[in-house]
């Protein structure tokens, strides 16, 4: 069996940011407008007013301070409340592909590889811009890669599940230079008019290069193990899909966007993730005290603090479990890879770490790596 390694990683970060304060001003203006329109029904007790959002609540409940987005003007327009991303003609690159190409260029530069050497592109993300042709095949063409490409979706766990698929193909010898790219435009499937979730997500793209370790050109991360698990739950769900036009009254239905029961997710996913990582470590023969770093899914700071403590058996020291969600918010599958990409260069040969993502499905994926 061929030993796989992560030889490069890269992040595309959209220029526009929305701070919690900006977000709350727009949301509260929207709430005031809707409440004024419904004043009679609210007074008669037949409609509930839309309550105001609060920047203090957002920070204390999630740890998020701002998010990057592909378009902020549409999101912050109280009369619109979703991004403005005009359709492109079929001969122009799609938006996800364009984001992906930027992240891939950075990852390939770190790996010291040219795109012509790539023989697999997996576009692993929690939503795709169209049903077909696959975004991954468009990316393959745009970068000038060979081989084959496909899209996959396991919501927040897409990147780690993609790494497992790519690493398995490298292990078996069917590919020699794989890219797992995760362009996430969460802003387009988030319901910005729902105060329970309007603060949660942001946009980004990440990419990793996976190759046989023997081909690595420089410092890299040996992949010692990958493990994926799923367990069905309705607590994070989006009912949008290709059957939309076959059904009545779907246009502005709430469940056409991201829906979650955040409290239940919190309670049910935490034990699942801690047990998953600890089981993966044990079966690989790794002690938790040999870990130098945890690159966790970036949904909620309290959640990560809890998992870090459970996995290490103590409160993580500064830098052992880097968070990026204060700057990026939840970027679905890309979150743990942003943390990995930004906080891994300082590790020394022999240092070990875990990349772990989790979310809708439920799903959890872990990747055990060692600096070499
Ligand atoms: N401002 C002020 N008050 C608020 C706000 C707000 N914005 N929002 C809620 N409140 C109020 C509530 O109404 C509630 O009031 P009351 O007690 O009077 O009923 C109170 O604050 C507490 O509300 P919650 O119980 O909801 O607050 P929590 O402490 O549970 O925090 C969180 C909410 C932050 C959502 C938290 O539950 C959480 O992080 N849960 C885990 C979520 C998670 O990890 N989800 C994973 C989803 S990601 C995924 O799988 C990918 C999906 C695909 C990507 C989708 C892209 C769009």
Residue boundaries of the structural domains of the chain: 222-371
- Phi then psi for residue 312, to 5 deg, are -85, -15
Nearest-CA neighbor of 291 among 321, 322, 324, 271? Answer: 321
Question: CA-to-CA distance for 108 and 12, rounded, in angstroms?
Answer: 13
CA 15 to ligand 1 centroid distance, Å: 26
Q: Which residues are catalytic?
A: 156
Residue-level pLDDT, tens digit, the chain, 372 residues: 999 999 999 999 999 999 999 999 999 999 999 999 999 999 999 999 999 999 999 999 999 999 999 999 999 999 999 999 999 999 999 999 999 999 999 999 999 999 999 999 999 999 999 999 999 999 999 999 999 999 999 999 999 999 999 999 999 999 999 999 999 999 999 999 999 999 999 999 999 999 999 999 999 999 999 999 999 999 999 999 999 888 887 778 899 999 999 899 989 999 999 999 999 999 999 999 999 999 999 999 999 999 999 999 999 998 999 999 999 999 999 999 999 999 999 999 999 999 999 999 999 999 999 999
| CB neighbours of residue 248 within 10 Å | 6
CA 11 to ligand 1 centroid distance, Å: 27
Q: Whose CA is nearest to atom 54 of ligand 1?
A: 332
Which numbered atom of ligand 1 lies nearest the CA of 302?
A: 39
**What are the b/e assignments for 292-320, b being 16+ CB within 10 Å?**
bbbbbbbbbbebbbbbbebbbeeebeeeb
**In sequence order, what are the residues at sequence separation of 6 or more whose Cβ sits closer than 8 angstroms to the Cβ of residue 314?**
none
Are the C-beta atoms of 215 and 197 separated by less than 8 Å? no
Which residues, in sequence order, are bridge partners of residue 179? 121, 209
What is the reported pTM?
Answer: 0.96
Tokens of 230: 């799923």
Q: Which among 60, 262, 264, 357 is the best mutation to test ligand 1's pocket, defined by most ligand atoms within 8 Å of the CB?
A: 262
| CB neighbours of residue 36 within 10 Å | 9
Question: CA-to-CA distance for 49 and 201, rounded, in angstroms?
Answer: 24
Are the C-beta atoms of 311 and 288 separated by less than 8 Å? yes
Ligand 1 neighbours (beta carbon < 6 A): 53-54, 57-58, 61-62, 126, 155-156, 186, 189-190, 195-196, 199, 201, 236, 258, 260, 262-263, 265-266, 299-300, 330, 332, 359-360
Question: CA-to-CA distance for 105 and 241, rounded, in angstroms?
Answer: 31
CA 261 to ligand 1 centroid distance, Å: 8
* Radius of gyration for the chain, computed over Cα atoms and rounded to the nearest angstrom: 21
Q: Whose CA is nearest to atom 35 of ligand 1?
A: 262
CA 191 to ligand 1 centroid distance, Å: 13
CATH number of 222-371: 3.40.47.10
Which numbered atom of ligand 1 lies nearest the CA of 363?
A: 50
């Amino acid at each position: 069996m061929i030993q796989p390694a992560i030889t490069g990683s890269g992040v595309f970060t959209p220029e526009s940011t929305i701070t919690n304060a900006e977000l709350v001003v727009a949301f509260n203006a929207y709430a005031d407008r809707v409440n004024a329109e419904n004043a009679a029904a609210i007074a008669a007790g037949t409609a509930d007013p839309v309550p105001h959002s609060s920047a203090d609540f957002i920070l204390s409940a999630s740890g998020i301070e701002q998010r990057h987005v592909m378009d902020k003007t549409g999101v912050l327009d109280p009369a619109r409340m979703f991004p403005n991303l005009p359709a492109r003609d079929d001969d122009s690159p799609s938006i996800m592909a364009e984001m992906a190409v930027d992240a891939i260029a950075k990852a390939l530069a770190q790996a010291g590889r040219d795109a012509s050497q790539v023989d697999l592109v997996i576009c692993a993300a929690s939503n795709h811009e169209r049903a077909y042709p696959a975004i991954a095949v468009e990316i393959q063409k745009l970068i000038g890669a060979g081989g084959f490409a496909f899209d996959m979706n396991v919501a927040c766990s897409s990147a780690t599940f993609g790494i497992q698929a790519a690493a398995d193909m490298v292990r078996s010898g069917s590919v020699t230079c794989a890219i797992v790219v995760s362009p996430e435009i969460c802003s387009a499937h988030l319901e910005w008019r729902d105060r329970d979730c309007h603060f949660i997500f942001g946009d980004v793209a990440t990419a990793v290069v996976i190759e046989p370790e023997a081909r690595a050109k420089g410092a890299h991360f040996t992949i010692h193990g990958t493990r994926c698990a799923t367990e069905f739950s309705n607590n994070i769900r989006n009912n949008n899909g290709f059957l939309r036009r076959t059904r009545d009254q779907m246009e502005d239905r709430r469940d056409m966007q991201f829906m979650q029961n955040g409290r239940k997710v919190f309670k049910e996913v935490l034990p699942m993730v801690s047990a998953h990582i600890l089981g993966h470590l044990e079966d690989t023969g790794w002690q938790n005290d040999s870990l130098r770093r945890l690159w966790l899914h970036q949904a909620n700071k309290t959640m990560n603090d809890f998992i870090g403590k459970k996995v290490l058996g103590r409160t993580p020291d500064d830098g052992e479990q880097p968070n990026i969600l204060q700057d990026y918010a939840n970027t679905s599958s890309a979150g743990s890879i942003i943390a990995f990409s930004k906080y891994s260069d300082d590790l020394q040969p022999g240092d070990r770490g875990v990349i772990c993502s989790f979310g809708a499905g439920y799903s959890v994926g872990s990747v055990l790596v060692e600096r070499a």
